[in-house]
Amino acid sequence: MKTVKSQFKFKGGVHPDYNKELARDKAIERMGVPAELVVSMSQHLGAPAKCLVKAGDYVRRGQLIGEKNGFISVCVRAPADGLVKAVEKRLGPAGGKADAVVLDTTAAAPEGSPPAAEGPVLPPLDWRSAPREDLLKRVEEAGICGMGGAGFPTAVKLNPPPGKRCEYLILNGAECEPYLTADFRVMLERADRIRTGVEIMRKILGGPAVRIAIEANKPEAIAAMEKAFADIEGNVEIVVLPVLYPQGSEKHQIFATVGRVVPEPPALPIDVGCVVENVGTVAAIADAVEKGEPLLERVTTISGDAVAEPKNVLAPSGTKYSDLVAFCGGTKEPPAKVISGGTMMGFAVSTMDIATTKTTSGLLLLSPRRVFQYASGSCINCGRCLRACPMNLNPALISKAVDASDIKSAEDAHVMDCIECGACSFGCPAYRTITQSCRRAKNSIRARIAAEKAKAAAAKEAK
Ligand code: SF4
Ligand code: SF4
């Protein structure tokens, strides 16, 4: 095992204020189970899970409450014992509504309820002797999805289609989003679990080379990984990346670590022989296999200058934002803005009733001093957004097309390649909301494609 510097720098990128000092030295704190959990059936990319419970049911921690509903989908398990108060549509962190199971965790188990679980939720496996198929099945039944971004189902990623082979397993420890320190703390405090997770994933994937990607501004995390992986056998390297946003983007990380370029969608990392997983996900795989512990909780950074005590909190999935903030001592002052995620790619939220999911990496409460009020103006053609865009797009052209409701022109300008990183909006002197324009265009194109597919299916049915 050796540590090397990245040899490849992607085009574009920006340097936002990282503001990680607020929470980086705060050890992970476990939060107790709150009185109410709101467990979404849509905690991942792909089809929402199919809910298996109804109001009045009593569920036990780890019980399957949502089953995988398609190839790109993930099961959901109860994060705690509790009485199902309701199954209803609830607002999620990204703004959409999805079915959610509302659990009263204070209710006593009614007579006839399933008994309290004794021991692990799933039988622990010895990864050294277990067949690859059993390990893969465990990742699926533990409900694991990518915890660093969109929440792609991990079992699908770990099972490349016929003809495709994983040559490089890349661990994403970049955490380039401002304020967020959850992955940093996991690398410091759970390095042994990451090492075990890597061994398991190498076995599932047939022994690829391993690259552990960490930005240069996290020397403590690099040291922790060097120690944990010191005696590992095989082709394993820690790759120190330059500090540049969005270094944590999957495509840019593949380029920065192994110099390969993922072609335009629908191409995936596996098309260039790579599988990328967030460090928290890798630790979750170790727990699922060795301890029989499904993915029921995660570390989330609660930060920002309006929160009383920024922390890295280990909380059950379905914990409401209001409970997370209360665990951090409440607010110092009313926040002017609350963001689910980081400041670059996160979503502004309007209610603290929203609950965490398996992908909630951060919750930021920002005071009026940190929130710049501005009026969006006309493009002055300065070209700054073109230089910042890591996907080589023309963000100015796309935003003007969206302003004119000309989605076709945005599509022609390859808006579907946009990774919504926010680098274009970050430096725009006219304060144009370019990233939101890209999101709007992408949503509109996806809706059109879905409508076309539905129409074609209906026509086929009618024949
Ligand atoms: S156009 Fe998309 S990919 Fe390019 S900088 Fe803007 S948000 Fe990022
Ligand atoms: S940065 Fe803003 S003003 Fe400059 S070209 Fe891009 S959209 Fe126009």
Contacts of 425 (CB under 8 A, 6+ apart): 385, 432, 433, 434, 435, 436
Mean pLDDT of 323-343: 95
Q: Using an 8 Å Cβ cutoff, are 354 and 321 in contact?
A: yes
Between the CA of 394 and the centroid of ligand 1 the distance, in Å, is: 8
Task: Ligand 1, residue 388: give the atom nearest the CA.
Answer: 5
> Which ligand neighbours the alpha carbon of 392 most closely?
1
The per-residue pLDDT for range 77-136, each reduced to its tens digit, is 999 999 999 999 988 877 778 899 999 999 988 888 777 777 899 999 999 999 999 999
As a residue count, the chain comes to 463
- Are both 283 and 156 inside the same structural domain? yes
Select from 259, 291, 323 the last residue of a domain: 291
Task: Ligand 1, residue 423: give the atom nearest the CA.
Answer: 5
Does any domain span residue 170?
A: yes
- Are both 138 and 287 inside the same structural domain? yes
Q: Rounded distance, CA 173 to CA 370, Å?
A: 27
The per-residue pLDDT for range 400-432, each reduced to its tens digit, is 999 999 999 999 999 999 999 999 999 899 999
Between the CA of 429 and the centroid of ligand 2 the distance, in Å, is: 7
Contacts of 131 (CB under 8 A, 6+ apart): none
Between the CA of 160 and the centroid of ligand 1 the distance, in Å, is: 28
- Are both 282 and 393 inside the same structural domain? no
Q: Look up residue 91 and give its DSSP letter.
A: E
Contacts of 117 (CB under 8 A, 6+ apart): 60, 61, 62
Helices vs strands, H then E, count in the chain: 13, 18
Q: Is the pLDDT of residue 271 over 90?
A: yes
> Pseudo-torsion of CA 9, 12, 15, 18, nearest 10°?
-80
At 160 the pLDDT is 94
CA dist 377 → 110, 359, 368, 441 (Å) = 60, 34, 22, 19
Task: Ligand 2, residue 386: give the atom nearest the CA.
Answer: 6
Q: Where are the alpha helices (DSSP H) in 250-337?
A: 250-258, 279-286, 321-327
Select from 236, 270, 291 the last residue of a domain: 291
Q: Is the pLDDT of residue 44 over 90?
A: no
Name the residue range of residue 169's domain: 2-23+122-291
- Collect contacts of 435-438 with beta carbons under 8 A, ≥24 apart: 437/398, 437/399, 437/402, 437/403, 437/410, 438/395, 438/398, 438/399, 438/402, 438/410
Pocket of ligand 2 (CB under 6 A): 379-385, 395-396, 399, 428-430, 432, 434
Residue 41 pLDDT grade (very low, low, confident, very high; cuts 50, 70, 90):
very high
Q: Closest Cα partner for 276 from 174, 161, 162?
A: 174
CATH of the domain at 186: 3.40.50.11540
- Are both 267 and 408 inside the same structural domain? no
Residue 264 pLDDT grade (very low, low, confident, very high; cuts 50, 70, 90):
confident
Q: Is the pLDDT of residue 151 over 90?
A: no
Does any domain span residue 366?
A: no
- Are both 272 and 162 inside the same structural domain? yes
Q: Rounded distance, CA 76 to CA 64, Å?
A: 6
Does any domain span residue 300?
A: no
Q: Which residue has the tokens 């963001």?
A: 339
Mean pLDDT of 41-66: 90
Mean pLDDT of 346-367: 93
pTM above 0.75, yes or no: yes
- Are both 126 and 268 inside the same structural domain? yes
Residue to substitute in 384, 400, 426, 438 for testing ligand 2 pocket (most ligand atoms within 8 angstroms of CB): 384
CA dist 235 → 208, 224, 232, 251 (Å) = 8, 18, 9, 21
The per-residue pLDDT for range 295-324, each reduced to its tens digit, is 999 999 999 999 999 999 999 999 999 999
- Are both 389 and 263 inside the same structural domain? no
Q: Closest Cα partner for 141 from 53, 64, 50, 196?
A: 64
Does any domain span residue 11?
A: yes
Q: Rounded distance, CA 395 to CA 441, Å?
A: 12
Task: Label the pairing between strands 76-77 and 64-67.
Answer: antiparallel
Q: Is the pLDDT of residue 72 over 90?
A: no
Token pair for residue 98?
């999805």
Average model confidence (pLDDT) across the chain: 93
Q: What percent of the chain has pLDDT over 90?
A: 81
- Are both 148 and 286 inside the same structural domain? yes
What's the structural domain count of the chain? Answer: 2
With H, G, I as helix, E, B as strand and everything else as coil, classify residue 197. Answer: helix
Mean pLDDT of 383-387: 96
Mean pLDDT of 170-190: 96
- Are both 283 and 399 inside the same structural domain? no
Residue to substitute in 14, 378, 380 for testing ligand 2 pocket (most ligand atoms within 8 angstroms of CB): 380
- Are both 248 and 389 inside the same structural domain? no
- Are both 282 and 408 inside the same structural domain? no
Select from 250, 265, 291 the last residue of a domain: 291
Between the CA of 395 and the centroid of ligand 2 the distance, in Å, is: 8
Identify the residue with better confidence: 73 or 396.
396
Q: Is the pLDDT of residue 376 over 90?
A: no
CA dist 159 → 132, 153, 163, 169 (Å) = 10, 11, 11, 13
> Which ligand neighbours the alpha carbon of 249 most closely?
1
Q: Closest Cα partner for 94 from 312, 324, 341, 337?
A: 341
Residue 70 pLDDT grade (very low, low, confident, very high; cuts 50, 70, 90):
confident
Mean pLDDT of 136-147: 95
Does any domain span residue 184?
A: yes
At 454 the pLDDT is 86
Does any domain span residue 274?
A: yes
Q: Closest Cα partner for 190 from 350, 432, 28?
A: 28
Q: Using an 8 Å Cβ cutoff, are 362 and 300 in contact?
A: yes
Does any domain span residue 269?
A: yes
Q: How many CB atoms lie within 10 A of CB 283?
A: 26
Does any domain span residue 406?
A: yes
- Which secondary structure element, helix H or strand E, spans residue 2, and what is its range? strand 2-5
Q: Using an 8 Å Cβ cutoff, are 328 and 309 in contact?
A: yes
Identify the residue with better confidence: 269 or 44.
269
